[in-house]
A and B are shown apart, each in its own frame.
Chain A
C-alpha cells in the first residue's frame, strides 16, 4: 500500500492506495466457477497511541481501494500507522511519517 500523510494548517490529510482485488465473491471465471470473495473488511489508523480512523469496508469499495481522510492533533514528524484486514485474515501494516505541505 502507498500512503501520503501531509499536515496542512492544523489538519493531517491522509490518502491511501491499497493493492487488493476486492473480489466480491459473485464473479465467475471463464469456466463458470465462482471467484471466491476476497475483500478488505476493516482499515485502521493510529497516531500517538490514539485511533484516528476506523472504517468498515467491503465489496462495494473499488479494487485497489483508495481512501482519503483527515484528522487533527498531530505534527510533522509524528508517525501514523495504517493497517487493514481482509475476510481471509490477511493483513498489512505500514508506518508513515507525517510530512509538511
Chain B
C-alpha cells in the first residue's frame, strides 16, 4: 500500500490516488463511529464490542458464557458442514464455488465493481446453488443459516476489512449509512437512535446492543427464535418491531446497510456464529 502511495505521488504529482480517497473518507467515519462507543464505554476493548450486550451487561454475560460452553448452534454447525460437503445433483459442491474449504466469510460483504452492487455471503451461497442447477434457499433461516454458520465458524477470528475502492462503492456505503441514521416507521426510530444513543439502556426489558461490531457475530442462534437466523432476518424483525416496513432479506437496502455496518466494524474480528438472547 505504501509503495503504491509513493508511486502515485511520483506519477500523478497529486497527494492521493482515487481509490485511497474513498477509503480515507470512510476511515474518518469509522474513527468517529468507533470513538463514540469507546468513549461511551471506557474499559471495553474494540474486539469486546463483538460480544454485543454481553460486553456491557454482567448478568446477561454470565448466562451467555454458560450457554456458549456447549451452545445449541453446535448441532447446526454440524449440519452446516454436512450441507457444505454434500454434492449438488450435478456432482459439484460448495467447495467448487468457495476456496479454502469455505473459510471465506471474512471476504463478505464486498462491492462488486462489475455488477455495481454489494455481494453478501448468503447471496453468494445462493448464486453458487443456482449456478449449479439447484434452487435458491430462503434467506432468513434454515439451511442458509446453517451453511452461513459453518462458513462463519471457519473464518473465526479473521479481520474485518471491507474496502471502498470506487465512487459506486462509496455510493452504496452512503446509502447504507443513510439508512442507518434515518428515522422510519410508526415509532419514528432510526438504527442509530437505539444502537448508538441508547446503547446499554433499556427498551422495555431489553438492553440495547452497540452497533459497533453488529455484523461480526452473525449468523446467530437467537434463544427467542429457538433456531439459527441470518443478519437480514434480524434487520427485518427489528424494522418490524419499530413499526417500520421491513425490506426483503438480501434487498439492496439491507445489503447496503450490511455493507455500511461491516465497514464500521473494520479492525474488529469475525466471531460468528454466536448465541444471542
Contacts and interface: CB of A to CB of B under 8 A. Distances in A.
A17 B74 contact: yes
The dominant DSSP class at the B interface is: loop
A16 to B, nearest CB: 8
Interface residues of B, number: 7
B178 interface: no
B78 interface: yes
Contacts of B75: 2, 17, 19, 64
Interface string B72-86: 101100100000000
B226 A63 contact: yes
Contacts of A64: 72, 75
B100 interface: no
Contacts of B31: none
Interface string A6-19: 00000000011101
Given A17-B75, A19-B75, A64-B75, A4 B226 contact: no
B70 A66 contact: yes
Interface string B183-227: 000000000000000000000000000000000000000000010
13 contacts: A2-B74, A2-B78, A4-B70, A15-B69, A15-B70, A16-B70, A17-B72, A17-B74, A17-B75, A64-B72, A66-B72, A68-B69, A68-B70
